[in-house]
Structure 1
């Protein structure tokens, strides 16, 4: 069984690593494009960030996994939305930030938590009921909003307070639109899957996979943080590489074919 899922999980890990590298870097050209494009550009960015925000989507997937009634979906999604709106708007406007690798590491833990909770982890391993899910979802919503804020603060928001607030709100509107689009797909697919026998057989496995991917995300973010704070020691050893070339007399080679190396 482990061998069956090893390759897919490795592929997911590599894919998420490439996405993280893109998400944590915003070019100067993109920053200027944001200012030139106006508020609609921030709406578009917010929507695309949510739709490509694998950590946010995985957590939402875990939240709605066992919810069968529309009223329950609306209740928990509203709690999550309120949470991330509060920190996204306030933290960005007040310029409250933290290392984005660590924030994303905590968000990865929220994904692991939801998979663990969905599989009855508190009952099985701690002999107690799960913490209040509505409060947990709201709390994690605050965390996810802070993560979104660390991204938004990498963009030019301007010095004008009104303009800054409008850009933040525009980004937030985009996030909500992206979230609605993602939820429609997730809830629709889950509602269809629940009618099949495979849902009961594979629901535990699906949430184990959620924990596994969350763990990959956690390791990836901690690895990024390690590079961020200790870049000098982790940098490519240029001098050692140069000495190796000199020892091999590569510079004196007159043949250019790979077979001659």
Structure 2
């Protein structure tokens, strides 16, 4: 476990200070029989912005509504497209997407209340726009979104990693991860359906605080001390899992749920989150096994370095997110 800590922390530290590559987001809102407002959000990497852009059928005229708006981590472009022909049945293409590793989520809202969600990827940059959402498309789109959200969410992965480090034994680990899964599934579902809700910025700040708490508990665990988190980690996993569920729901809410297939979209987004979580846990356990087999010698004091690192990164996030309350 000590060797694993040293190895995995190096990877996560690098990733946590880099910008996460989130999917690009194209929102199309119909405002009349022949006019649509278009908002194109492109994730940025430092000062660099990928050269990708939506291309509509040639019978649409494109009008730029305002200059690009630079926000932290993204650039937003605003357009209006006009045509006497319907958007349904035409082809939408994301030009340049095949030269990136970015996915592009397309959300279309029609005047009649119908909402369609599409996912374009580097190996599939074009798609015919349907009139209605289909069950198969919903399943595929939201499964991918859920998986990507957890795998790109470094804060959630750090929390899961901290749970792994404080939970010795396979049965105890299964119990702890199951409690975390059940908890965030509850709040994700209730929040996405609008039954409960919490403001996003405070939730994100407390998620960072939960990682700091676990980092402190890991140090106590290494010292041979006892606490609820050490003796009964599933209780802490369940309590903080409820909070993390609100974080997952925030991402899903920003995307929206297709009105005709809400249960399927919610279910498969949740399944995607679980698949990503399982993939991370299995990978972590595999790395532990490989490092144990390699018999690499690492001094005992080194095991504290990743823990303090996890706590420091989470502390930075906490300060940054609290400051953002007034940004």
Fold match by TM threshold 0.5: yes
Of residues 101, 123, 140, the one that matches 2:201 is 101
Q: Which moved more, 1:103-112 or 1:86-95?
A: 86-95
* Aligned 8 A contact 2:15 2:154 in 1: no
In structure 2, list runs of 5 or more residues that go unmatched: 1-10, 28-39, 41-104, 109-115, 119-136
Is the counterpart of residue 164 in structure 1 residue 165 in structure 2? no
* Aligned 8 A contact 2:16 2:154 in 1: no
After superposition, residues 22-171 of structure 1 pair within 5 angstroms as: 26-28=25-27, 30-32=105-107, 35-36=117-118, 37-120=137-220, 129-131=227-229, 132-160=232-260, 163-171=261-269
Which residue of 2 is the match for residue 223 of structure 1? 323
* Aligned 8 A contact 1:123 1:130 in 2: no
Which residue of 1 is the match for residue 303 of structure 2? 203
* Aligned 8 A contact 1:122 1:130 in 2: no
Which residue of 2 is the match for residue 244 of structure 1? none
The verdict on how the C-alpha distance between 1:128 and 1:77 changes in structure 2, with shifts beyond 3 A counting, is closer
SS at match of 2:198: coil
Q: Bigger relative contact order, structure 1 or 2, given CA contacts below 8 A and separation 6+? A: 1
Task: Write the distance in 2 (CA, Å) between the matches of 1:185 and 1:9.
Answer: 13
Q: CA deviation at 1:68?
A: 4.3
Q: Which moved more, 1:36-45 or 1:170-179?
A: 36-45
| 1:134-189, Cα deviation, whole Å (9 max, x unpaired) | 211111111111110111011121334xx212111110010011011111111222
Task: Write the distance in 1 (CA, Å) between the matches of 2:16 and 2:150.
Answer: 19
Is the counterpart of residue 186 in structure 1 residue 290 in structure 2? no
Task: Write the distance in 1 (CA, Å) between the matches of 2:13 and 2:178.
Answer: 33
| 1:11-61, Cα deviation, whole Å (9 max, x unpaired) | 76642xx339x58x9542534177134221000000011101101100110
The verdict on how the C-alpha distance between 1:120 and 1:66 changes in structure 2, with shifts beyond 3 A counting, is same
